[in-house]
Amino acid sequence: MRCLTAALSMVSLLGSLPGSMLLAQTPQAPMAHHGLRLPDAFFAGNRAALLAKAKAMGPGTLVVAKSMPTQPSSGDGEHPYRQDSDFYYLTGVEEEHAVALLDADKGTYTLLVQARDPRRETYTGTRLGVAGAKAKGADEAVEYPAAEKTLNEALQRAKRVVFINNFDDAFRLKVLDAVYPKGTVGWKVDYEKILVDGRPIVGEMRVIKQPMEVQMIQRAVDASIEGHLAAMRGSATFTNEGQVAAALEGTVRALGARFLSYQTIAGAGGNGCVLHYPFNDQPITPGSLILMDASGEIGFYTSDITRTWPANGTFTGEQRALYDIVLKAQEAGIQELRPGRPHGASMRAAARVISDGLVDLGLIQGDKEEAFKRGDWNKFLPHGVSHYLGLDVHDAGSYGPADTFHRHAGTRALAAGMVLTMEPGIYIPKGMEGVAAKWQGIGIRIEDVILVTANEPCNLSARLPRRAEDLEALVRGGAKRLK
């Protein structure tokens, strides 16, 4: 927490934050954040920045951004609605069937929304309507079905359409037909328009986090830490992975996480070797490790934390040997998350520690330098170790051209204000060829959320223990308390 306070204070930004967002209100003890959102001024600032970019493209530029469509979950149900991150970043609007139009020539923002419908609102809650849209910052608002005409006329007038749409394929085809009508391309001058994919533009805007965003990420991290602690403290009495997952999920929900950042991974024993283990319903066998990769999101901002601990509170010799290598690799990777360092430097640093450590244990054969160059460690670490985090757990933005060292290592130089994960691991599934049985069925990953600052990397999730002995003490202490 201290490093975050220092990072924000250095650029004199703490004083500009609303009172509800100040770090002083983020204590070490649990604190609920139900319904917490960034202020409308945040989204207005993002729109203004995008409008400036659109205006620089030339006259007649129109930005069109589409909300997330609803997703059916069964014959008569839908998944809980979560707004598209790009659309939310620009509008702060949380409801479906919405379109944002930013006219670069006029500098105006028009929001197209669902019509108010008392009958439907009885089931699903109050809709924004025209008044609500204007209250959220829209200069103009139009309800459907009249909004169809507004959209079509705006597309007809535009010479250039900057299109931001991630998931609504039907809407994508509608815009394509409006910009490039069938049977007209190549002969009708009226339709010589330019279509620009606006997603990379907004993605780059999202790479450097504004202080308010860092504050919200910290809250998501804080809630997620409490969830991990609950899972660890109860694990000595748990007999199934589902209980581990439930301990975290119930805790983060109680602290204000309306959504999980991603589907919980709570793999025991060999299931910890499945990178995105989806089931969380198998028995926890005596002596096994529990790998939990799980977090909640607060105010649409995510967290991404992984811990691995012994279910009974004591690492075996093999488990501890591998765990210490992963922890050392994570520390080496974190130290590379500094301004000016390429994104891939952390991958190289973490992989080198893992490679050397596995040579020392005899799991990789030969000279350390040669083994590292051969990439033998890829067998044990099959994923990248760092990605952006923000409104999405794998957040938007470029890592630059890939480093020849590894496909998940980018060459982009890091900058203060970026938030990334650091998550090395070692995975030895049962039946791995050429590995002694005593090592098999062990999966270990350690992951934290790191803010790049002008000085030292700031571990936003450092409050959650990582050292093996601290994890053992937590599990044993929880078991004693529950007796």
Residues annotated as catalytic (active site), given as ranges = 76, 276, 293, 304, 383, 387, 394, 423, 427, 445, 447
Comparing CA positions, the residue from 357, 402, 407, 348 lying closest to residue 380 is: 357
Rg for the chain, CA atoms, rounded:
25
Q: Is 424 exposed, middle or buried (0-12, 13-18, 19+ CB in 10 A)?
A: buried
Backbone angles phi, psi at 174, to 5 degrees: -65, -45
Q: In this structure, are residues 30 and 73 in contact, taking their beta carbons and an 8 Å threshold?
A: no
Q: How far is CA 249 from CA 24, 230, 260, 262, in A?
A: 26, 10, 8, 11
Q: Which two tokens stand for residue 165?
A: 């749409």
Q: In this structure, are residues 420 and 388 in contact, taking their beta carbons and an 8 Å threshold?
A: yes
Q: Which residues contact 9 (CB under 8 A, 6 or more apart)?
A: none
Residue type, 258: R
Helix or strand holding residue 22 (H, E): none
Q: Which two tokens stand for residue 483?
A: 């007796």
Q: Determine if the peptide bond prior to 310 is cis (ω within 30°).
A: no
What is the number of alpha carbons within 13 Å of residue 6 lying toward its C-beta? 13
Task: Count CB neighbours of 193 within 10 A.
Answer: 17
